[in-house]
Chain A
Amino acid sequence: MGMVNLVGPDKIMHHEHFFHAALVYLAAAVISVPLAKRLGLGSVPGYLLAGIAIGPFGMGLLGEDTAEVMGFAEFGVVMMLFLVGLELEPKLLWRLRGPIFGLGGMQVVVTAVLVAGVAMMMGLSWQGGVAAGLTLAMSSTAIVLQTLAEKGQMNGAAGRNAFAVLLFQDLAVIPILALLPLLGSSVEGAEVGVLGGLPVWLRGVMGLGAVAAVVAGGRYLVQPVLRWIAQSELRELFTAASLLLVIGIALLMHVVGLSPALGAFLAGVVLAESEYRHELEADLAPFKGLLLGLFFISVGSAMDLGALGARPWVIAGITVGLMVLKAGVLWGIGGRFGMATADRSTFALSLAQGGEFGFVLVAMALQGRIFGEEAGEVIQLGIALSMALTPLLFLFDERVVRPRVSGKVEEEGREADVIDEKHAVLVIGYGRFGHIVGRVMETVGIPCTVLDSDSEQVELLRKIGFKVHYGDATRLELLHAAGAGHAKLAVLTLASVEKSLEIVRLLQRHFPQVRILVRVRGRLEAYELLDAGVEDVYRETLDASLEMAVAGMRHLGVPGHTAVRAARQFRRHDEGAVRRMAAVRHDRAAYLSEARQSVKVLEEVLRSDGEREIENSKW
């Protein structure tokens, strides 16, 4: 009975508005994002254009609740920072401390001071100037990280340094949020959550407590809970738990008046060493993508093109001026930190826009009446337009600047601090087979990213001290998260041939650069993988049985070298035979004839080897 009521006509009517909005947003995204990508612009401008198209200055397809949608979509930024945190293990973060505080600190301070100076020359008070400076010093984490990742530049020097600057900005937002109200006429913080009425010291204690709770919870509570959920083997339940985790942290941070994005980042870092890291990444990535898309669409739709129409030159001047100033500062800093020319250009051009935190800060400054309505509007438009222009800067860098200096890139490229440890080898399945492969590779200094979908096994291995990630590699997102895009080698050692085939197909389709090595049980499974186009197929019993044959022969007095050669000879022959027979196995007659032929050839090979040996052994 409940079912009928739930989907009854009145309920559908009730949700019609929601579905209408969803239809508009999704359709706009589905149409404009592929278009933008085809034009080489990346997804972000696609979303922005989609927003403009459906917004009040386009087709006007949206209702009045765009602000609400934007607020909701900002959650995408929270998720993105959680995911960024997941990629950053604490020790990696520690290694990046130099660029974060050096590059990031200089960028924020120098940009803020210069912008403040310009703003004061244009008639703002010093408080207004400082607020404007800090606001415009921010860059867009969402746009920059998304675009750098899409262009595969996250691991380059430019990507790493851009990331460091963005991270510093995200950190700096906290004290800035605390500082801004002090600049205004109203002393109380604009938005500090439900604790607003409490004394400042108590709020501080609560804030610290919340941070401690996130760190401790992430370390000691989340892990066992996720393990417990993973054991239920319900994929959607794990997704639900991932979402619950991030939403919970965001709300907790909001309640104590801290930045939800930063809280999520912190939680991400805490969980970066967890075996569920890749699974969490894979589960949340689509939500992050969609929410960020929604966020950009709402930024696009909220752009007040009317104000632009009224004062096009002022706003154009401010936008261009802002971008030139920011790029100039970044260029200078990049030079001071010894970046190569090509990297320096990417670094400077990629971060030369205002950011989403800028919107938040403007809103706060307006509430605190630190600067006027008019200045706020101009700053907001400047941020939005500079964000919209960013893809063009990326394009400019990619098509114009980089080709000209690319000759120097290799020579100047300096030693890399790697941001995300995406290894060249992906070991999928870390049971009794895979762990041998992984461990042997580690002994010669080849680190592996290890995935296993048996949570108990993963837990056990981690207790022993292995770095293993929990996850089902038949999911494309998980392969992405584990760095398949950068991998050179995938070692598949799963017991299930169906799963192996599934992963092989995913890898072949989406990561054609990866060389695939697969363990199979025997001949029949080998045929299937050979059919699928895998060349490196390893029958798990072959080497052990050959070793056993060698030992047996030697016990019977066959000279060691003779025994080893016989086994090797057999192996070489049999590997060839399996490949030949895979091709004809569906034709029974041909298969049998090939099999007979194969036996005969083997006998001949072994006999002639024996004769050669006798000939050699007369003296």
Chain B
Amino acid sequence: MMNDDRAKGMRVLVLHAHPAPRRSRVNAALLAAARGVEGVTVRELYEEYPDFFIDVKAEQEVVAAHDVVVMQHPFYWYSTPSLVKEWFDEVLTSGWAYGEGGTALRGKRWMHAVSTGGAAESYGPGSEHGFTVRQLMAPLEATARLCGMEYLEPFLVQGAGRLSGAEIGEWAGRYAARLAGLRDGDGEPGGA
């Protein structure tokens, strides 16, 4: 029905947040992959706001103009790099993202694309880090929920520091496919 129309062209926004993206093999590859997917907007937060002074209005306009937001970043201290937190603090304002009249994000889909230094086995109960990545990302999930967004399963690249060039290439391919799927409405409730 209505979703058929939308499903054809979900507008996908990738907000990439890495302090020095060219130094990270994985993130650089993922970023390049995202740029290669048609119909996906890519913004690099650390390049837009190297001094952390976020243009709130501009960010809100960009987000409002998309249906799916992907926050792509390395896993720092079990969370996002600090600029992403600043982005949440400044951009997700009451009356816009939540609270009275705050409906701008309602119905949008939200996904994190995260690279972790530690391998998958180092996360989870009894492991080195003690919690699953999903558990550690609970604040992010709660944020999306409060804003009325559909929180999607994160796209995880783990053990990122030890991946071979070929493996990185594979991950980049999977990422591009995932983004293309989001654009085409994959997994959309009631969608294709």
Q: How far is the CA of A562 from the CA of B21 in the complex (A)?
A: 10
Q: In whole angstroms, what is the CA distance A554 to B50 when docked?
A: 10
Q: Which listed segment binds A: B23-31, B32-40, B140-148, B181-189?
A: B23-31
Contact of A559 among B19, B26, B49, B116 (CB under 8 A): B19
Could you say which interface size class chain B belongs to? Answer: 20 to 34
* B23, closest chain A residue (CB): A617
Chain B residues with Cβ below 8 Å from A614 are 20, 23
A618 touches B117 (CB 8 A): yes
Q: Which residues of A contact B50 (CB under 8 A)?
A: 550, 554, 559-561, 563-564
Q: In whole angstroms, how far apart are the Cα atoms of A613 and B49 in the complex?
A: 17
**Set A557, A613, A619: member contacting B74, Cβ < 8 A:** A619
Q: Collect the chain B residues with CB atoms within 8 Å of residue A557's CB.
A: 22
Q: How many residues on the A side are at the interface (Cβ–Cβ under 8 A)?
A: 15
List of B residues within 8 angstroms of A564 by Cβ: 50-51
Chain B proximity of A20: nearest CB distance (Å): 72
B114 nearest in chain A by CB position: A619
Q: Which of A562, A563, A617, A619 contacts B75 (CB 8 A)?
A: A619
- A529-572 vs B, CB cutoff 8 Å, 1 = contact: the mask equals 00000000000000000000010001001011111100000000
Point out the residue from A554, A561, A618 that lies within 8 Å of B19, measured CB to CB.
A561
B47 adjacent to chain A (CB < 8 Å)? yes
Complex alpha-carbon distance, A557 and B23, angstroms: 12
Contact, CB under 8 Å: A619 / B19: no
**Which chain A residues lie closer than 8 Å to B47 at the CB level?**
554, 559-561
B31 to chain A: closest CB distance in Å?
12
Query: B46: CB under 8 A from chain A?
Result: yes
B115 at the interface (CB under 8 A from A): yes
- In the complex the two chains form, what is the Cα distance from A618 to B74 in whole Å? 9
Residue of A nearest to B17 (CB): A561
CB atoms of B46 and A561 under 8 A apart: yes
Query: What separation, in Å, do the CA atoms of A564 and B19 have in the docked complex?
Result: 11
Contacts of B78 in A (CB 8 A): none
Choice from A550, A559, A618 contacting B46 with Cβ under 8 Å: A559
Set A554, A560, A618: member contacting B161, Cβ < 8 A: A618
> Does B18 contact A617, Cβ atoms closer than 8 Å?
yes
Query: What residues of chain B lie closer than 8 Å to A618, measured between beta carbons?
Result: 23-24, 117, 160-161
Partner of B21, one of A550, A554, A559, A563: A559
In the complex, A559→B27 CA distance in Å? 14
What are the residues of chain A within 8 A of B88 when measuring CB–CB? none
Interfacial chain A residues near B26, Cβ < 8 Å: 619
Bound Cα distance A616, B160 (Å): 12
CB neighbours (8 Å) of A550 from chain B are 50
Flag B4-24 by CB within 8 Å of A: 1 or 0 each.
Answer: 000000000000001111111
Q: What sequence of 0s and 1s flags, for each residue 591-619 of chain A, a beta carbon within 8 Å of any chain B beta carbon?
A: 00000000000000000000001101111
A617 to B117 Cα, complex, angstroms: 10
- Further contacts, 4 of them, CB under 8 A, given A560-B48, A562-B20, A614-B23: A617-B19, A617-B74, A618-B24, A618-B160
A-B residue pairs in contact (CB < 8 Å), sample of 14: A554-B50, A559-B22, A559-B47, A560-B49, A561-B20, A561-B83, A613-B19, A616-B19, A618-B160, A619-B24, A619-B74, A619-B117, A619-B160, A619-B161
Closest 5 CB pairs of A and B: A560-B50, A619-B160, A617-B23, A564-B50, A618-B161
